[in-house]
């Protein structure tokens, strides 16, 4: 039975209740490469998958600020599992921004019932990760999807997979494909050193027939200059802020419970060493700054309506995402300064935070966000309205 969450407060409470369940098995899942089937089933029951369904269609219709906080809390517990619904929430947003009334009503029922979207976006062997060879072509009253996608986060166990491809006008359309449709194959071949439980394998679509009413026809025509890209990016920022918080929490726990004082320090407990306490404070300041920037950016997205406000929101998110990545990598590395060689023992799993941060920060180049911010600062020129990564 899936809970129906009524408002932002209920959504935040559901995330807070679910996070400890994720945290309980995070180290074991990372070490063994186990796939989180049970955790995803529990996620569906929480009602969080319907949090962005508009109130007019029975959902909570929560703010961007609430979405960011949900992902921050979940990522602090287990960033790999927390990343799986990132695509879901982003592509729910896409559907409710650009879908027909009939599509919105149909999929609202799916999401409120616990159905989850996977991802079939990026391809290999193309000029960029957003250039598509996958096709979505009409056949009678339906369309037929053909193509191969990589980094298909969550597609293996999703009920629906949004597939991005070129339509008969050579423009990007998006087919929402049922996972069990004949011709859909999702391979369990994700082999990265971090974010191991994200199910980001290969998805292959061979003559997959999809009803035309499940296709968003050229949605990007209406999204240029909107906050759509910023909304998706702030979830990625929240994941990295969560990694930083989780790493610091585990590092301080190790300092308090496991670390031995350095020889010659004069202390009987490592936690009494003022240098280590100062380090904990330094890292705490950085994490708090990343958390504050995340909230500021989320609020900017929520309040943006004019072109200038939208540009401001996009740049706020670019700053939040870039800083979050820096902090996550730095904190996940420097927590090892709390201890000696014992912290490197794989049984403690402290290395997973850095591996997760390094893997996730590869998702979108920070240098392009820094360039966009610097260009605006020096010339007043805003980011390309069609660029959904900034």
Task: Report the Cα–Cα distance between both ends of the chain, in Å, rounded.
Answer: 38
- For residues 360-383, one letter each, b for 16 or more C-beta atoms within 10 angstroms of the residue's C-beta and e for the rest, the string is bbebbebeebeebbeebeeeeebb
Q: Where are the alpha helices (DSSP H) in the chain?
A: 8-24, 26-32, 37-46, 64-98, 101-112, 220-223, 228-257, 274-303, 307-334, 351-360, 366-379
Q: Give the distance, in angstroms, between the CA of residue 258 and the centroid of all CA atoms in the same chain.
A: 32
Give the pLDDT confidence of 71-115 residue by residue, as tens digits. 999 999 999 999 999 999 999 999 999 999 999 999 999 999 999
Residue 160 DSSP one-character state: E
Q: Which of helix, strand or coil describes residue 245?
A: helix
Q: Is the pLDDT of residue 273 over 90?
A: yes
Domains in the chain (CATH in brackets) are 8-112 (1.10.540.10), 135-219 (2.40.110.10), 224-379 (1.20.140.10)
Q: Which DSSP symbol is given to 166? A: E
pLDDT for the residue numbered 265: 87
- pLDDT-derived band of residue 33, with 50, 70 and 90 as boundaries? confident
Q: What is the pTM of this model?
A: 0.96
Whether the Cβ atoms of residue 377 and residue 319 lie closer than 8 Å to each other = no
Per-residue pLDDT band at 129 (split at 50, 70, 90): low
Whether 36 and 91 have beta carbons less than 8 Å apart is answered as no
Query: pLDDT digit string (tens) for 221-268?
Result: 999 899 999 999 999 999 999 999 999 999 999 999 999 998 888 899
Average pLDDT of the residues of the chain? 95
- 354 contacts 343 by C-beta, under 8 angstroms: no
How far is Cα 216 from Cα 213, in angstroms, rounded to an integer? 8
Q: Judging by beta carbons within 10 Å of its beta carbon (0-12, 13-18, 19+), is residue 99 exposed, middle or buried?
A: buried
């Amino acid at each position: 039975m899936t809970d129906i969450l009524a408002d932002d407060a209920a959504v935040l409470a559901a995330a807070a209740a679910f996070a400890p369940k994720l945290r309980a098995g995070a180290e074991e899942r990372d070490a063994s490469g186990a796939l989180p089937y049970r955790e995803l089933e529990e996620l569906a029951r929480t009602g969080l998958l319907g949090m962005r369904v508009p109130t007019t269609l029975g959902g909570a219709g929560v703010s961007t600020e609430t979405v960011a906080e949900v992902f921050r809390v979940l990522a602090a517990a287990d960033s790999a599992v927390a990343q799986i619904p990132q695509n879901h929430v982003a592509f729910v947003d896409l559907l409710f921004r650009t879908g027909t009334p009939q599509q919105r009503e149909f999929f609202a029922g799916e999401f409120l019932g616990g159905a989850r979207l996977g991802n079939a976006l990026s391809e290999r062997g193309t000029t960029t990760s957003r250039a598509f060879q996958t096709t979505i072509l009409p056949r009678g009253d339906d369309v037929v999807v053909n193509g191969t996608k990589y980094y298909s986060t969550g597609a293996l166990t999703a009920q629906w997979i949004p597939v991005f491809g070129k339509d008969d006008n050579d423009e990007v359309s998006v087919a929402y494909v049922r996972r069990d449709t004949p011709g859909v194959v999702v391979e369990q071949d994700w082999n990265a050193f971090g974010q191991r439980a994200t199910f980001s394998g290969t998805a292959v679509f061979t003559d997959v027939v999809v009803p035309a009413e499940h296709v968003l026809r050229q949605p990007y025509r209406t999204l240029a200059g909107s906050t759509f890209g910023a909304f998706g990016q702030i979830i990625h920022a929240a994941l990295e802020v969560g990694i930083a918080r989780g790493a610091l929490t585990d590092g301080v726990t190790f300092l308090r419970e496991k670390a031995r004082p350095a020889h010659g320090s004069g202390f009987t407990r490592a936690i009494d060493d003022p240098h280590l306490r100062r380090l904990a404070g330094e890292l705490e300041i950085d994490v708090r700054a990343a958390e504050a920037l995340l909230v500021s950016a989320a609020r900017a997205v929520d309040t943006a309506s004019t072109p200038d406000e939208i540009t401001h929101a996009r740049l706020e998110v670019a700053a939040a995402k870039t800083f979050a990545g820096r902090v996550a990598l730095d904190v996940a590395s420097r927590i090892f300064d709390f201890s000696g060689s014992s912290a490197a023992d794989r049984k403690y799993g402290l290395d997973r935070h850095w591996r997760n941060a390094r893997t996730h920060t590869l998702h979108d180049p920070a240098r392009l966000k820094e360039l966009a911010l610097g260009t605006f600062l020096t010339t007043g020129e805003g980011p390309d309205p069609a660029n959904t990564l900034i």
